[in-house]
């Protein structure tokens, strides 16, 4: 057995893939078991698993690590999830399945695998399974319904996941559309939701009209900066609304450095950053407005309450603004 080139957690022999079994002696779907020097390997059949097909089709972006926490959406009876359980042997796999019939099989598959947690739930409602986990490193999605991109990102944002993988089923999105157009629109939506496309791989010949898309959620930061009891906001013309100054974290920047740079670029004001709050998909900084050092790219103003025409939803600001005010006024 030799590790495949993209990871040392999946193995290959004669063009077949294998994972090291976490539950030796137990087959999940009739797969072949191979014992080599006391280690049992399970064959990972690409015609039965889209994640295996992705590797066999040349996929290179493989975010799984031995200690990863994985949120698996659409786990069905647990075929692929059981191999993920093998791969993240020191991590956890939270397996969400909507169908009660499939869920019964999933529970059976999970027996003997103490890192595999079956959850009867709806992937379109991420809060439903927040009782089981609060964070994930990776969200893996394999659901046969519309809005596959939004389902992925909604869960990534809810559980603070950096990486996501979605097996896009073109016919589930639009049975009449050209699959290539469905894939293009899905990629565009993922980018619109703040993801970087790491890789897109068609799964032919193992799965017709399917594509695996691997994404990374872009790291961003913004600052809630106060002056004389009011907080600084900028007007984004593209989004036609007011928002806190901020943007993408570049390279090796810290969230504090990125928030300060973005604030100067957008508003023209320099700020002192005094605290950082992680809200999962973004870092929020509390700051104090200093002097104006440039004209700024956007119109800016100070507010004592949120303006009506916001670029983003009010719920988040209703949480972070009081937090930042409390930090500043200590």
Looking at residue 27, its pLDDT comes to 96
Looking at residue 85, its pLDDT comes to 98
Average pLDDT over residues 117-126: 97
CATH 3.90.79.10 residue window(s) in the chain: 220-328
Instruction: Categorize the per-residue pLDDT at 157 as very low, low, confident or very high, splitting at 50, 70 and 90.
Output: confident
Instruction: State phi, psi for 6 to the nearest 5 degrees.
Output: -90, -15
- Residue pLDDT, tens place only, 54-110: 999 999 999 999 999 999 999 999 999 999 999 999 999 999 999 999 999 999 999
CA-CA distance, 99 to 97, in Å (whole number)? 6
Number of CB atoms found within 10 A of residue 103's CB? 21
CA-CA distance, 6 to 59, in Å (whole number)? 8
CA-CA distance, 244 to 221, in Å (whole number)? 10
The SS3 call for residue 138 is strand
Average pLDDT, the chain: 95
Average pLDDT over residues 302-309: 95
CA-CA distance, 305 to 314, in Å (whole number)? 11
Q: Which of 62, 65, 117 has the alpha carbon at shortest distance from 92? A: 117
Judged on CB neighbours under 10 Å (0-12, 13-18, 19+), 248 is middle
Average pLDDT over residues 37-53: 97
Q: Which of 308, 235, 243, 295 has the alpha carbon at shortest distance from 269? A: 295
The residues with which 83 forms a beta bridge, in sequence order, are none
CA-CA distance, 209 to 131, in Å (whole number)? 35
Looking at residue 252, its pLDDT comes to 82
Average pLDDT over residues 296-325: 93
CATH 3.40.50.150 residue window(s) in the chain: 46-217
Angle at 109 between CA 108 and CA 111, to 5 degrees: 70
Looking at residue 218, its pLDDT comes to 80
CATH code 3.40.50.300 for 220-328: no
CA-CA distance, 142 to 145, in Å (whole number)? 9
- Residue pLDDT, tens place only, 208-256: 999 999 999 888 899 999 999 999 999 999 889 999 999 989 888 999 9
CATH topology of domain 46-217: Rossmann fold (3.40.50)
């Amino acid at each position: 057995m030799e590790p495949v080139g993209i990871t040392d957690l999946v193995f290959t022999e004669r063009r077949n893939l294998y994972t090291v079994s976490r539950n030796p002696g137990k087959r999940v779907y009739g797969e072949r078991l191979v014992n080599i020097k006391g280690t049992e390997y399970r064959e990972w059949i690409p015609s039965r698993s889209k994640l295996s097909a992705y590797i066999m089709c040349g996929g290179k972006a493989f975010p799984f690590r031995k200690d990863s926490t994985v949120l698996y959406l659409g786990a069905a009876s647990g075929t692929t999830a059981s191999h993920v359980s093998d791969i993240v042997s020191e991590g956890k796999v939270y397996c969400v399945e909507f169908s009660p019939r499939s869920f019964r099989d999933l529970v059976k598959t999970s027996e003997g695998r103490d890192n595999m947690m079956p959850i009867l739930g709806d992937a379109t409602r991420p809060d439903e399974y927040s009782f089981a986990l609060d964070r994930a490193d990776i969200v893996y999605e394999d659901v046969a319904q519309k809005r596959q991109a939004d389902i992925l990102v909604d869960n990534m944002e809810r559980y603070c996941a950096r990486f996501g993988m979605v097996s896009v089923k073109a016919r589930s999105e639009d049975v009449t559309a050209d699959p290539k157009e469905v894939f293009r629109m899905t990629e565009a939506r993922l980018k619109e939701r703040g993801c970087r496309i790491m890789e897109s791989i068609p799964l032919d010949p193992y799965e017709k009209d399917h594509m695996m898309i691997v994404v990374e959620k872009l790291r961003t930061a913004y600052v809630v900066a106060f002056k004389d009891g009011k907080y600084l906001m900028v007007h984004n013309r593209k989004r036609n609304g007011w928002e806190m100054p901020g943007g993408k974290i570049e390279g090796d920047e810290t969230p504090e450095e990125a928030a300060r740079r973005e604030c100067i670029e957008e508003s023209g004001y320099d700020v002192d950053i005094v605290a950082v709050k992680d809200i999962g998909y973004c870092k929020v900084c509390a700051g104090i407005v200093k002097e104006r050092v440039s004209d700024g790219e956007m119109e800016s103003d100070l507010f004592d309450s949120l303006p009506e025409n916001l670029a983003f939803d009010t719920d988040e600001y209703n949480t972070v603004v009081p937090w930042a005010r409390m930090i500043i006024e200590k």
